[in-house]
């Protein structure tokens, strides 16, 4: 394939190329669809691609451009995580349970992005129902990390992350319940943002754990993420937790000139939680993080140590709460209201049992069982209620920390992408790798992961920045200014065909 330079440029450059008619929306969509066709067999980042449908959307975008009615995303191709309902198109959640489910309606974010004129390239692979950190529990097979064959792409939005990293899509949507945008972004060397809980409507986003789930964005840079994020936020009365706040133009905001151009991060106080820099972090991650922090300081940021003493409770609290909510949310997939129905059964109860046993994979079944257990009489107080109390303590830790600083920093994950299968026999070991991302969801705060180096095996390292509620602009601004001075976000895996 002759590399067309447009597959690896910022969304703002695609915007200009479209506006100046250097390329049409149809040509741009075809470029990415061709790349998916050529490269996705080696990655398995997509579950569904419908070329005709994408090209029809691109033609509509071209018509809109011709009428001078284009918005910032008109004609920009993107991929949707397969947890988002898309009208008339398969929405599987990477489960056998929904393997033939064609949604009758669009998720709110899908509607918003359609209205903006973005062109959907397809639906990306993920962990089944978002349960996992490696995109290996998919009914459609695992996603491969574009940086290293045989390694995981992270999860659960691993398909979106791999697609963006390999430049099969310029930007992609994801969802993040306990790290599912940030951790795959880290594993694939791209930028991923999970905003404040309530900023993005959950309507039509198939629920894992409703009090933790939040839509998010994946892109090559903070600037690309900013463009997508602004288009996805906004009040939606159909989600009772959607927040009625004015939509912010993040892309415009982060490009406002810094007061002191030589020290663009002057005035940013970044807290380093001691618990995030304790032992348990691999040497490669520590070294990359320290270099990036030195760069943040060189750009004018101040760093200081802070404490998040209840961090050690995040994993147990997160997994108790998320499994409890999942067991309730997934009860609708019973072969009657939704989902796969067994071909043969003796009676109603047998039909439920067989349908759910056949339709759900092992991890999903494990979580439904555990979630039902922690909510059951006699155990509710011992597990679920305790977990809710820990959740409050974790949120209060953050509140105290944000009295002293405006952003917090740490690794996104304690390890880089592991070999496929390495953790499959030990689910708890995989849960433990979510230590730095889950506290952010428990508190409902915004978090971002950006690439900050590579480990000795050549795998990308992600740095996580956490902001106070509604500080997305500050978070994106800090990372945008860091990225203007560094080039980690420009590195591409060899499979992408981009110049190194
Ligand atoms: N890795 C976490 C889990 O397996 C979080 C997943 C997510 O954010 N959807 O539950």
Tens of pLDDT along the chain (500 residues)? 445 789 999 999 999 999 999 999 999 999 999 999 999 999 999 999 999 999 999 999 999 999 999 999 999 999 999 999 999 999 999 999 999 999 999 999 999 999 999 999 999 999 999 999 999 999 999 999 999 999 999 999 999 999 999 999 999 999 999 999 999 999 999 999 999 999 999 999 999 999 999 999 999 999 999 999 999 999 999 999 999 999 999 999 999 999 999 999 999 999 999 999 987 788 999 999 999 999 999 999 999 999 999 999 999 999 999 999 999 999 999 999 999 999 999 999 999 999 999 999 999 999 999 999 999 999 999 999 999 999 999 999 999 999 999 999 999 999 999 999 999 899 999 999 999 999 999 999 999 999 999 999 999 999 999 999 999 999 999 999 999 999 999 999 999 998 75
* Ligand 1 pocket test target in 84, 180, 317 with most atoms within 8 Å of CB: 180
- Report if pTM > 0.95: yes
Cβ 157 under 6 angstroms from ligand 1: no
Cβ 438 under 6 angstroms from ligand 1: no
Cβ 322 under 6 angstroms from ligand 1: yes
Cβ 434 under 6 angstroms from ligand 1: yes
Annotate 30-56 with b (16+ C-beta within 10 A) or e (fewer): bbbbebbeebbeebbbbbbbbeebbbe
* Ligand 1 pocket test target in 434, 436, 441, 442 with most atoms within 8 Å of CB: 434
**Given the CA of residue 367, which atom of ligand 1 is nearest to it?**
10
The answer to whether 180 is a known catalytic residue is yes
Q: Given 54, 81, 103, 449, which residue is catalytic? A: 81
Instruction: Count CB atoms within 10 A of the CB of residue 284.
Output: 18
311's tokens: 């961090």
* CA 180 to ligand 1 center in whole angstroms: 6
Q: Is 76 helix (H, G, I), strand (E, B) or coil?
A: coil
Ligand 1 atom 5: residue of nearest CA? 178
Cβ 178 under 6 angstroms from ligand 1: yes
Alpha carbon separation from 225 to 154, 366, 432, 476, 484 (Å, rounded) = 19, 34, 27, 8, 15
**Residue 281: predicted pLDDT:** 83
* CA 259 to ligand 1 center in whole angstroms: 39
Ligand 1 atom 10: residue of nearest CA? 131
Q: Is 145 helix (H, G, I), strand (E, B) or coil?
A: coil
Q: Is-contact 81 45, C-beta < 8 A? A: no
Give the DSSP H or E segment for 54.
Answer: helix 51-66
Cβ 77 under 6 angstroms from ligand 1: no
* CA 378 to ligand 1 center in whole angstroms: 27
Calculate helix-pair angle for 362-375, 348-359, nearest 10 degrees.
Answer: 120
Residues in a beta bridge with 302 = 269
Q: Given 24, 95, 135, 156, which residue is catalytic? A: 156
**Given the CA of residue 433, which atom of ligand 1 is nearest to it?**
1
**Given the CA of residue 434, which atom of ligand 1 is nearest to it?**
1
Ligand 1 atom 4: residue of nearest CA? 132
Q: 333: closest CA among 203, 155, 206, 175?
A: 206
Q: Given 180, 201, 221, 327, which residue is catalytic? A: 180
Determine the longest span between alpha carbons in the chain, in angstroms: 74
Cα–Cα distance, 280 to 90 (Å, whole number): 41
Instruction: Count CB atoms within 10 A of the CB of residue 19.
Output: 13
**Residue 151: predicted pLDDT:** 98
**Residue 278: predicted pLDDT:** 84
The answer to whether 95 is a known catalytic residue is no
Calculate helix-pair angle for 386-401, 314-329, nearest 10 degrees.
Answer: 130
Classify residue 66 by burial, with Cβ atoms within 10 Å: 0-12, 13-18, 19+: exposed
Cβ 370 under 6 angstroms from ligand 1: no
Cβ 133 under 6 angstroms from ligand 1: yes
* CA 93 to ligand 1 center in whole angstroms: 13
**Given the CA of residue 319, which atom of ligand 1 is nearest to it?**
10
């Amino acid at each position: 394939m002759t590399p067309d330079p447009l597959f690896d440029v910022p969304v703002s450059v695609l915007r200009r190329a479209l506006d100046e008619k250097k390329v049409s929306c149809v040509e741009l969509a075809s470029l990415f669809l061709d790349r998916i066709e050529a490269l996705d067999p080696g990655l398995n980042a997509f579950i569904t691609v419908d070329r005709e449908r994408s090209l029809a959307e691109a033609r509509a975008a071209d018509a809109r451009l011709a009428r001078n009615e284009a918005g910032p995303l008109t004609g920009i191709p993107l991929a949707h995580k397969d947890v988002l309902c898309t009208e008339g198109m398969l929405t599987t959640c990477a489960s056998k349970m929904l393997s033939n489910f064609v949604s009758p309606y669009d998720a709110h974010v899908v509607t918003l992005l359609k209205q903006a004129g973005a062109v959907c390239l397809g639906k990306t692979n993920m962990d089944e129902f978002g349960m996992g950190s490696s995109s290996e529990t998919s009914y459609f097979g695992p996603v491969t990390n574009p940086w290293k064959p045989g390694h995981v792409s992270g999860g659960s939005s691993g398909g979106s992350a791999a697609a963006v990293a390999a430049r099969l899509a310029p930007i992609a949507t994801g969802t993040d319940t306990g790290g599912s945008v940030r951790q795959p972004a880290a594993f694939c060397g791209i930028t991923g943002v999970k905003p404040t809980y309530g900023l993005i409507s959950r309507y039509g986003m198939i629920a894992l754990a409703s009090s933790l789930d939040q839509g998010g964005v994946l892109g090559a840079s903070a600037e690309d993420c900013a463009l997508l994020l602004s288009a996805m936020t906004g009040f939606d009365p159909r989600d009772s937790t959607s927040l009625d706040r004015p939509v912010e133009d993040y892309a415009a905001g982060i490009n406002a000139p810094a007061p002191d151009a030589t020290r663009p991060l002057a005035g940013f106080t970044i807290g380093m939680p001691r618990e995030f820099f304790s032992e348990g972090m691999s040497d490669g991650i520590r070294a990359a993080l320290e270099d990036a922090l030195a760069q943040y300081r060189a750009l004018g940021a101040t760093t200081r140590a802070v404490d998040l003493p209840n961090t050690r409770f995040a994993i147990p609290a997160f997994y108790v709460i998320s499994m409890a909510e999942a067991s309730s949310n997934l009860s609708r997939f019973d072969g009657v209201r939704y989902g796969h129905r067994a071909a043969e059964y003796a009676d109603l109860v047998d039909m439920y049992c067989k349908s759910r046993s056949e339709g759900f994979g092992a991890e999903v079944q494990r979580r439904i069982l555990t979630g039902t257990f922690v909510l059951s009489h006699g155990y509710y107080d011992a597990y679920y209620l305790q977990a809710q109390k820990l959740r409050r303590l974790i949120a209060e830790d953050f509140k105290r920390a944000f009295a002293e600083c405006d952003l917090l920093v740490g690794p996104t994950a304690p390890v880089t992408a592991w070999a496929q299968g390495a953790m499959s026999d030990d689910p708890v070991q995989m849960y433990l790798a979510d230590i730095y991302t889950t506290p952010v969801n428990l508190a409902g705060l915004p978090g971002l992961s950006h690439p900050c180096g590579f480990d000795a095996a050549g795998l990308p390292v992600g740095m996580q920045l956490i902001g106070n509620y509604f500080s997305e602009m500050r978070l994106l601004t800090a990372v945008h200014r860091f990225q203007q001075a560094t080039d980690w976000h420009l590195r591409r895996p060899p499979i992408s065909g981009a110049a190194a």
